[in-house]
Structure 1
Amino acid sequence: MAEHIYYLFILAIPVSCIAWTVTKEEIFREAREFCVSKSKSCNKLYKRKFFYVFTCEYCFSHYVTILLLIVTKYTLIYPDWRGYVIAGFSVVWIANIYMSLYNLIRIDLKKEKIRVAKEESELEEK
């Protein structure tokens, strides 16, 4: 059982990395902006929801997790379909904790950069 828990925390790392990168980072900005506009303007509900998935790290992490579970055949507690369900929600939950922690770190770094820039501009004025 300890090995399964270990893999749970390890598998959540690529899920969080992929979900965060696609939904937040600059490299996918144009694609994300396209998806945002489509998620607001499509005439069909299923089309709007399809494009919305690429704009929300929580939603996208579910799909990345499903793909990862298929590739790795990872189950948790039970070796059948119940294990896949439990593993899926567990990996998503841990991945979203990772993304929340990463977001907090980024906010702190931005605050620090702003504070330093403000102090530098005050020193230049003097």
Structure 2
Amino acid sequence: MESHIYYLFILAIPVACIAWTVTKEEIFREAREFCVDRSKHGERLVKRKFFYVFTCEYCFSHYVTIIILLITNYTLLYQDWRGYIISFFSIVWIANVYMSLYNIIRIDLKKEKIRVAKEESELHAD
């Protein structure tokens, strides 16, 4: 049982990494902007919701988790379909905790960079 919990925290790492990268990082900016436009201006509800998935790290993490579960056959608590459902929501939840922590760290780093730049500009102004 302990190894199942260990795998839960490990499998959430690639889910968080992929979901964050696709929905937030610069490398996917153009594709994300296209999806944002389609999610706001699509003719049909289904089309708008489909494109919205690629703009929301929480939503996208569900689909990444499905792929991870298909690849790994990971189950939690039960070895049947119930184990897949429990592992699905558990991985999504842990992955989103990871992404939240990462976001907090990034904000703190940005604040620190701004503070240092301000102090340096004040020193050069004197």
* Alignment partners' CA distance in 1, 2:3 and 2:114: 43
Q: Which runs of 5+ in 2 are unaligned?
A: none
Matches within 5 A, 1:9-48: 9-48=9-48
Q: Residue 4 of structure 1 aligns with which residue?
A: 4
Deviations 1:97-118 (A, max 9, x none): 0000000000000000000010
Name segments (4+ residues, structure 1) moved above 2 Å: none
Which residue type is aligned with residue 74 of structure 2? Answer: Y
RMSD between aligned residues: 0.4
* Alignment partners' CA distance in 2, 1:64 and 1:46: 19
Q: Residue 59 of structure 1 aligns with which residue?
A: 59
Which residue type is aligned with residue 7 of structure 1? Answer: Y
Q: How many residues align?
A: 126
Q: Residue 88 of structure 2 aligns with which residue?
A: 88
Tell me the CA shift for residue 89 of structure 1. Answer: 0.1
TM score, norm. by length of structure 2: 0.99
Tell me the CA shift for residue 124 of structure 1. Answer: 1.0
* Alignment partners' CA distance in 2, 1:34 and 1:109: 29
Q: Which runs of 5+ in 1 are unaligned?
A: none
**Structure 1 residue matching 2:88: 3-state secondary structure:** helix
Deviations 1:36-55 (A, max 9, x none): 00000001000000000000
- Taking every aligned residue pair, what percent have the same amino acid on both sides? 79
Q: Residue 99 of structure 2 aligns with which residue?
A: 99
